[in-house]
Structure 1
Amino acid sequence: MSRRSWVEQIMGLPISVLARGKAAGGEAADAVVREVFAELIEVDRVFSPYKPDSAVSLLARGAVSWDHLDPVVREVAERCVAARELTGGLFDAEVPGGKWDPSGLVKGWAVERAGERLRKVEDVDWCLNAGGDVLVVCPSNEPFTVGIQDPRDPGRVVARVSCAGGAVATSGTAARGAHLYDPRTGAAVVTRWLSVSVTGPSLEYADVLATAAFVAADDWPAVLLPGYEGLGVLADGNLFATDGWGSL
């Protein structure tokens, strides 16, 4: 079976696409991947808190009002409000200091949206990996194996999940250290869990739920919605999985 891969540095992280199938090496597959990368670059331009001319940065400086922003920014803001309500306040785009930072939702939302382009290419299975958050599209129903990174050793995996369609997202301290805070208190998250990974049909929701679950600490399994499963990694290396964790 033909395979082909692409990788670009976008949003400050490597985004890779793996194609598998008869048409994986064709021009249509290459063209759609370039479209996916272009869409994600545009999302980064609009939403990055590190780019001085992004909508997020302009809002933070008071240089623009919500009424003058592109409708897609208001759409993301509405999705962030919905995510806050869905998680009982465990996820919130309003960060300490009163600024709006939708980064915790934008990546999953953007990859999920861009992934719709991949579905248009027939006879190709896709695995799109955005810095460890993974979207899988498999018309063949032959699963990809997605590894869950060991938060204590980025070169190792602690578990594998068989994924024939859907998403896997992970939140924790491995990549960026102790960067998450509890929106309910404004304080940094203190927990014995090093990471929580979530599987489910939507990467947008899996990403939000993984963040909320990590903030919830020992109560994280209760955060998951129906159709979503989780795997937590403790500081001592022990694992805890919900009953439905496994194939997706």
Structure 2
Amino acid sequence: MRRSWVEQLMGMPISVLARGEYADSAAAEAAVKELYAELDDVDRVFSPYKRDSDVSRLGRAEIGLDEVHADVRDVAERCAAARELTGGLFDADLPDGGWDPSGLVKGWAVERAGDRLRAVDGVDWCLNAGGDVLVICPGGTPFTIGIQDPHDPGRVVASLARTGGAVATSGTAARGEHLYDPRTGRPATSRWLSVSVSGASLEYADILATAAFVAGDGWPEVLPAGYEGLGVLADGNLQATPGWGVT
């Protein structure tokens, strides 16, 4: 049995696919409802587009870090750790002196909210948040995740079977030059259109995908043990790390 849900949250479609004998159960329905509620709460706290969010108020210096929601302080610490992990290729501190944790928040929030789904016995889950995917498969049968063609959102350039963990993609095809290179303070430029990263944690896969894209041709060197990647060049050629495709 399969069942699916989708809602527009955090500025993107977030879809949930449940598979298994209890996919249509009340427990599965309740878990998905709780997941969406949790992500809506995260958006209220972290959205840089909502004037009354903690992040927006912090940016306008209306409140200090000691006055924000505890999750904001947690994310600030995670952003500092991500900067250290990536050798400065991921940095929530902006060139203009501002602070934008958005590059970490999505992966962190979805990974955490996934605990709602993990608590339901007898159900496999595939959670897609704007193209970044979290897979939970206690049944052991993999989901197949498509890697979007940067030139054509309706096509895939590769697929990856996963029985657990996450896949995140970073690039400029969908949103243009929205990433900046902390080494120069300028928009990140690369002959790569996208880099996808797979691994155990969506939070880290998302961070590493951003850092890898910013790194340019040296992107495979950014990935630590346990994380693999696939890069898509502007001419359509692909480059994968040795463990890409291994479930």
- Structure 2 match to 1:110: 109
SS state at 2:42 partner: helix
- Structure 1 match to 2:166: 167
- Structure 2 match to 1:79: 78
Q: Tell me the CA shift for residue 70 of structure 1.
A: 1.6
- Structure 1 match to 2:209: 210
Query: In the TM superposition, what whole-angstrom CA distance separates every residue of 1:139-192 from its partner, at most 9, and x where no partner exists?
Result: 001000000000010000000000000000000012211111101110111110
Q: Distance in 2 between matches of 1:67 and 1:29?
A: 37
Q: Distance in 2 between matches of 1:19 and 1:41?
A: 20
Runs of 4+ residues over 4 Å off in structure 1: none
Query: In the TM superposition, what whole-angstrom CA distance separates every residue of 1:210-241 from its partner, at most 9, and x where no partner exists?
Result: 00000000000000010000000000000000
Q: Distance in 2 between matches of 1:247 and 1:125?
A: 19
Judge conservation of contact 2:108–2:202 (CA < 8 Å) in 1: yes
- Structure 2 match to 1:48: 47
- Structure 2 match to 1:195: 194
Q: Tell me the CA shift for residue 121 of structure 1.
A: 0.4
Query: In the TM superposition, what whole-angstrom CA distance separates every residue of 1:95-116 from its partner, at most 9, and x where no partner exists?
Result: 1211110000000000000001
Q: Tell me the CA shift for residue 247 of structure 1.
A: 3.0
Superposition RMSD on alpha carbons, in Å? 0.6
What stretches of structure 2 of length at least 5 have no aligned partner?
Answer: none
TM-score, normalized by length of structure 2? 0.99
- Structure 2 match to 1:122: 121
- Structure 2 match to 1:222: 221
- Structure 1 match to 2:230: 231
Provide the aligned length of Structure 1 versus Structure 2.
247
Query: In the TM superposition, what whole-angstrom CA distance separates every residue of 1:19-43 from its partner, at most 9, and x where no partner exists?
Result: 0000001111011000000000000
Judge conservation of contact 1:174–1:195 (CA < 8 Å) in 2: yes
Q: Distance in 2 between matches of 1:236 and 1:178?
A: 18
Q: How does 1:140-155 map onto structure 2 within 5 Å?
A: 140-155=139-154
Letter of the 2:241 counterpart? T
- Structure 2 match to 1:35: 34
- Structure 2 match to 1:90: 89
Q: Tell me the CA shift for residue 93 of structure 1.
A: 0.4
TM-score, normalized by length of structure 1? 0.99
What stretches of structure 1 of length at least 5 have no aligned partner?
Answer: none
Q: How high is the sequence identity, in percent, across the aligned residues?
A: 72
Judge conservation of contact 2:45–2:69 (CA < 8 Å) in 1: no
Q: Tell me the CA shift for residue 89 of structure 1.
A: 0.3
Q: Tell me the CA shift for residue 72 of structure 1.
A: 1.1
Judge conservation of contact 1:167–1:200 (CA < 8 Å) in 2: yes
Judge conservation of contact 1:154–1:174 (CA < 8 Å) in 2: no
Q: Distance in 2 between matches of 1:128 and 1:30?
A: 14
Letter of the 2:227 counterpart? Y
Higher mean alpha-carbon deviation, 63-72 vs 32-41, is at 63-72
